[in-house]
Amino acid sequence: MKSLEELETLLKVKCNFDERIITGIWTTDCLYNPPMNGRIFKYKYIIVQTASGQGCAYCTNQSYNPDYLESLIGQDCLYAKITDTAIKVACLDALASRVTYGLNFKVLELNGNSCCKLHARTDLILEEAFNLFGDLHSKKVINIGVVGDIIKGFLNVGCDVIGSDYDSAIVGKKLFNEAIVFNGNRTLELLKEVDLAVVTGMTITTHTIDAIIDKCKEYNVKLIVYAETGANMGQYYVNRGVNTYLGEMYPFYIFNGISTIVVTKSEGSNV
């Protein structure tokens, strides 16, 4: 079963009617240029709030009808007729903390401006990579959903790094004169060549995360997911095969102030 379908089935059992009612929906246009990234992020994200939680997803759909969004207020988020994947993901994310498997996790806070928090979250990802391997020197890493600071961080510790993305602004380029960015349609074949994949939560919305998890298992590739989309889904996806899941709650690092990150790890990992 596909992960979103399975998660929805689990939540229909775990959550009662009152918990599933949509109480708020927000959409926001995001234009942000992180340091050393090589491009401006141009996204829209959607937040869905229920009585029991709040979920978020970045969107491929760039235009939502306000009347349609208003019509969802007061509806059961698991049974309403929702065809847009990002809205569905945000609904599931709002409830996903109810799905637990007793896996190790820790809650961290990053505080500062967006630039400081950008580097701090890269340090967190590197820390988790060190925990998985012990020594990262000469390890081969792919960043799926390219973030320049993450690529730079792994280059700085002696890794051989590549990226994969669908953004034509960076595909074919060599970031920092070292890390080639391949077209996203080559992601699965590129996993054969690496030791570690660092993936963003946008792969949940694009329905690509399941194939990535499966290929990482097949090729014995370690998998770290850094998720703003689906930030509450750590227990579910680690149980499904992700090694380490870092869920960054809204408001994200791109906003100054405090950002909360929940780090969930597979059984046997230390927190």
Residue 105's alpha-carbon distances to 200, 236, 259, in angstroms, are 19, 12, 17
- The pLDDT tens digits of the residues spanning 191-239 come to 999 999 999 999 999 999 999 999 999 999 999 999 999 999 999 999 9
* Residues forming beta bridges with residue 106, ordered by sequence position: 263
Mean pLDDT, range 150-156, rounded to an integer: 96
Give one word for 215, left, alpha or beta, with left for phi > 0 and alpha for psi -120 to 50: alpha
- Give the least confident one: 54-63, 78-87, 102-111, 135-144: 54-63
Mean pLDDT, range 25-52, rounded to an integer: 86
- Among 227, 257, 220, 219, residue whose Cα is nearest residue 244: 227
Query: Looking at residue 62, what is its pLDDT?
Result: 75
- Among 266, 170, 173, residue whose Cα is nearest residue 225: 266
Q: Is the pLDDT at 271 greater than 80, yes or no?
A: no
Average pLDDT, whole number, for the chain? 94
Instruction: State phi, psi for 158 to the nearest 5 degrees.
Output: 90, 20
Q: Is the pTM of this model over 0.85?
A: yes
The domains of the chain, with CATH numbers, are: 3-98 (3.30.390.10), 105-265 (3.40.50.11590)
Instruction: State phi, psi for 231 to the nearest 5 degrees.
Output: -60, -25
Which pairs with CB-CB distance under 8 Å and at least 24 residues apart come from 149-152?
149/34, 149/35, 149/36, 149/37, 149/118, 149/119, 149/122, 150/122, 150/125, 150/198, 150/226, 151/175, 151/176, 151/179, 152/36, 152/122, 152/176
Query: Looking at residue 268, what is its pLDDT?
Result: 56
Query: Please, which pLDDT band fits residue 24 given cuts at 50, 70 and 90?
Result: very high
Query: Please, which pLDDT band fits residue 52 given cuts at 50, 70 and 90?
Result: confident
Polymer length of the chain = 271
Mean pLDDT, range 167-191, rounded to an integer: 95
